[in-house]
């Protein structure tokens, strides 16, 4: 049967319209299903102000406020040893005595020579005043007197050095094994290490991003696990003006009064914490919550139960903390998990884990 051309065209239009309606229905259903998918669960921090470096913490070794290694300044046989490890000594306490027979004789002879030269000088001065001798002869007598005086002072020191004394008050931390009665010592021989334990010090090393926050007289907390579980209050007594040439770090010295007796020992390991006093507080967020893009840095925040991308201007950074100068405000909910899967507008269910300024 011959078909009417008008009927064929009309049928074609009906088929075409039916196909278009099916595509539209499919697309609408797809969008609806996407919106009905389960929410993405994320952790957030409430944006808040804080201190970028609230505490500077570092470890070191405890030392006495003064420590000295006593060395022999004489030579001879040891007659007496009057100290041992652990002894508490006053300044000037006798550590040992060396045979001073020769030193005593030389001292006495030098003293006699000085006394004789002194008498000669008195006579020469009288003769010069009366005109009996010249100025040159007087000067020779004076020079001889001063020479004898120097000789006596040297002999006296050598004699005194035969009795070795502690130059500072403190506790004997080390005693050289060679220091025994009858042993022979020479100048420079080590005798003992004395530690003044009235105060202790702790030298810590900090980096260039930390040193600017530390000032002399700032409060510090010292922890010495081997001695006590109670934190010790101290202060910063010195801040290095430059880096240590060996380590490249900056030295900071903490000090505190010893109120624990002999529980604390020089050489113990300790940790010092310095509380930083900032000029102002800024919004602080974790460094890992920022996303770097070609045109800057961004964070996701949760707003109306959706992920919203915000461009931020970061400031100073320290460790895993960063200051934010602009882009977010206090109270914004910063998303800190599932960052790699988030897209702007994605529905989210949040769990608040605290304030960003307090995050460590």
Find the CATH number of the domain harbouring 205: 2.40.30.170
Containing 152, the helix (H) or strand (E) segment is: helix 135-160
- What average pLDDT does the segment 76-105 reach? 96
pLDDT reading at 237 higher than 50: yes
CA distance 197 to 267: 12
Of residues 159, 157, 164, 158, the one with CA closest to residue 97: 164
In a domain, 89, yes or no: no
Of residues 191, 201, 169, the one with CA closest to residue 91: 169
User: Among 232, 250, 275, which residue terminates a domain?
Assistant: 275
pLDDT band at 247 (very low <50, low <70, confident <90, very high): confident
Number of H helices, E strands in the chain: 4, 21
Instruction: Check if the beta carbon of residue 138 is closer than 8 Å to that of residue 121.
Output: no
In a domain, 221, yes or no: yes
Of residues 233, 234, 251, the one with CA closest to residue 243: 251
In a domain, 162, yes or no: no
Convert 98-122 to b/e letters by CB count within 10 Å (16 or more is b): bbbeebeebbeebeebbeebeebbe
pLDDT tens-digit map of 110-119: 999 999 999 9
Give the pTM.
0.67
Q: Do 336 and 287 share a domain, yes or no?
A: yes
In a domain, 68, yes or no: no
pLDDT tens-digit map of 17-73: 444 444 433 333 223 345 555 689 999 999 999 888 878 999 999 999 999 999 999
Check residue 2 and report its DSSP letter: P
Q: Where does 36-134 have alpha helices with state H?
A: 101-130
Q: Which residues contact 156 (CB under 8 A, 6 or more apart)?
A: 107, 110, 111
In a domain, 345, yes or no: yes
User: Among 275, 305, 337, which residue terminates a domain?
Assistant: 275
Q: Do 304 and 251 share a domain, yes or no?
A: no
Residue range of the domain that includes 301 = 40-52+280-358
Q: Do 206 and 258 share a domain, yes or no?
A: yes
pLDDT tens-digit map of 302-356: 999 999 999 999 998 888 999 999 999 999 999 999 999 999 999 999 999 999 9
> Tokens 């009057």 correspond to what residue?
82
Q: Do 258 and 290 share a domain, yes or no?
A: no
Q: Do 227 and 285 share a domain, yes or no?
A: no
User: Among 228, 254, 275, which residue terminates a domain?
Assistant: 275
In a domain, 343, yes or no: yes
Q: Do 246 and 288 share a domain, yes or no?
A: no
Tokens encoding 338 = 């599932």
Cα 144 to Cα 67, 113, 133, 151, 255, distances in angstroms: 42, 10, 16, 11, 52
In a domain, 225, yes or no: yes
Query: Which pLDDT score, from 0 to 100, does residue 37 have?
Result: 57
In a domain, 155, yes or no: no
Number of domains in the chain: 3
């Amino acid at each position: 049967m011959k078909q009417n051309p008008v009927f064929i065209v009309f049928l074609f239009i009906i088929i075409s319209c039916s196909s278009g309606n099916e595509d539209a229905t499919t697309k609408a259903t797809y969008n609806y299903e996407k919106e009905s998918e389960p929410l993405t669960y994320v952790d957030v921090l409430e944006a808040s102000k804080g201190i970028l470096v609230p505490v500077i913490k570092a470890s070191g070794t405890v030392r006495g406020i003064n420590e000295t290694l006593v060395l022999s300044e004489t030579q001879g046989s040891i007659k007496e040893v009057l100290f041992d490890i652990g002894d508490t000594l006053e300044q000037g306490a006798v550590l040992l005595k060396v045979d001073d027979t020769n030193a005593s004789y030389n001292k006495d002879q030098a003293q006699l020579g000085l006394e004789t030269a002194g008498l000669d000088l008195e006579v020469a001065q009288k003769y010069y005043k009366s005109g009996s001798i010249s100025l040159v002869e007087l000067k020779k007598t004076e020079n001889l007197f001063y020479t004898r005086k120097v000789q006596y002072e040297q002999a006296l020191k050598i004699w005194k050095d035969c009795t070795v004394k502690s130059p500072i008050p403190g506790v004997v931390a080390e005693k050289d094994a060679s220091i025994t009665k009858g042993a022979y010592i020479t100048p420079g021989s080590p005798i003992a290490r004395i530690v003044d334990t009235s105060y202790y010090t702790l030298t810590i090393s900090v980096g260039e991003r930390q040193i600017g926050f530390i000032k002399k007289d700032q409060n510090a907390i010292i922890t010495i696990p081997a001695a006590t579980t109670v934190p010790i209050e101290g202060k910063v007594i010195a801040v290095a003006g430059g880096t240590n040439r060996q380590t490249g770090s900056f030295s900071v010295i903490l000090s505190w009064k010893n109120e624990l007796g002999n529980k604390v020992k020089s050489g113990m390991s300790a940790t010092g914490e310095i509380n930083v006093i900032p000029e102002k507080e800024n919004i602080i967020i974790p460094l890992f919550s920022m996303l770097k893009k070609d045109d800057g840095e961004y964070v996701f925040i949760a707003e109306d139960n959706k992920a919203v991308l915000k461009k931020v201007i970061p400031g100073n950074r320290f460790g895993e903390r960063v200051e934010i100068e602009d882009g977010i405000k206090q109270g914004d909910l910063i998303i800190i998990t599932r960052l790699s899967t988030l897209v702007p507008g994605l529905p989210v269910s949040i769990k608040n884990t605290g304030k960003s300024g307090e995050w460590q």
